[in-house]
Structure 1
Amino acid sequence: MIEIREAVINDLPEITSLFRNTILHINSKHYTENQIAVWASGADNEKKWTARITKNYFIVAEANNTIVGFAYLTQGNYLDGLFVHKDYQRQGIGAKLLRVIESQVIMAGFKEIKSDVSKTALPFFDDYYYEVEKKQMKHLKGEVFENYIIYRTL
């Protein structure tokens, strides 16, 4: 049974651990070792994660009191992150998080949701009728990442 709830600051260690481990184990299929190390190091910035949890619409998916996924919005309709625990992939958790996020965007009065997504995540969003606006190269700590700006009209 998966429960969706808003994140609280006490969730921070589980959220950052899930973020790091998902990147290390799932995204490594599409990115180099150096890219993965740089990306996963984003889990170390507790100040940034604290701000994400406290200032944004940030939800977690729980199974048996363990956080197995999370998603959050910035700017009302920008899906800034959606991650599912490496051991809980392909169980409908990402889809459930996405539905709740999209509902929040609609309730906030927006007609469209946007996101930047990795090569790894693109097929997931394609399954939910997201369109690619453009492919881009993002620079982070000396590494260049190929990703995609996607959107969906709600």
Structure 2
Amino acid sequence: MRIRAFRPGDDEAALRAVFRSSVHQLAVGFYTPAQLEAWAPEAYDAIAWAERLRANRPFVAEVEGRVAGFADLQPSGYIDHFFVDGTFGGRGVGSALMAHLHQSAHARGIGRLCSDVSLSAEGFFARCGFVIERRQEVELRGEVLRNARMRKTLGTAGRA
């Protein structure tokens, strides 16, 4: 597995496919089909998606040359995107991305991580040492999705 920087102009479509696969395959037991489609619809604004990725500058995980997941870490310590392709679920991609985020936090002097975590990812984040700060309900395209704001205080300048 290799983790690399996002490549603007090359990665947008592949990361969108990972996002949709992650939502529709890994979150299927936690949300209704209508909620999943509202969260990751087939039709989307490719320009807005590309702009968001360029702003977030995610890290991209590759397995045997194939994009398997991606995650970002904002200067505030906020993790906006953290998605693993459904076909790579349970194969260590999420753990590798999380370790990379911790290393990046340490290098950047970030001492606290937080994210709005789906019900399907809550257990993974808890195993990584995150705790629930609050439960939330978010309306998206007419559907209400539940999630949790989770946080983790890191040791000395970003160490887990």
TM-score (norm 2): 0.89
Between 100-109 and 126-135, the greater mean CA deviation after superposition: 100-109
Residue of structure 2 in register with 1:91 after alignment = 91
**Structure 1: which 5+ runs fail to align?**
none
Structure number with higher helix proportion = 1
Q: How many angstroms does 1:21 deviate by? A: 1.5
Report matched runs for 1:88-127 at 5 Å: 88-127=88-127
Structure 1 Cα separation of the partners of residues 27 and 121 of structure 2: 9
Q: Root-mean-square deviation (CA), in Å? A: 1.5
Structure 1 Cα separation of the partners of residues 42 and 3 of structure 2: 24
Residue of structure 2 in register with 1:36 after alignment = 36
Residue of structure 2 in register with 1:8 after alignment = 7
Residue of structure 1 in register with 2:70 after alignment = 70
SS of the aligned residue for 1:13 comes to: helix
Between 55-64 and 91-100, the greater mean CA deviation after superposition: 55-64
Give the counterpart letter for 1:63 in structure 2: V
Structure 1 Cα separation of the partners of residues 42 and 105 of structure 2: 26
Structure number with higher strand proportion = 1
Instruction: Give the % identical residues.
Output: 29
Q: How many angstroms does 1:133 deviate by? A: 0.2
SS of the aligned residue for 1:28 comes to: coil
**Structure 2: which 5+ runs fail to align?**
155-160
Q: How many angstroms does 1:90 deviate by? A: 1.0
- Corresponding residue pairs, total: 153
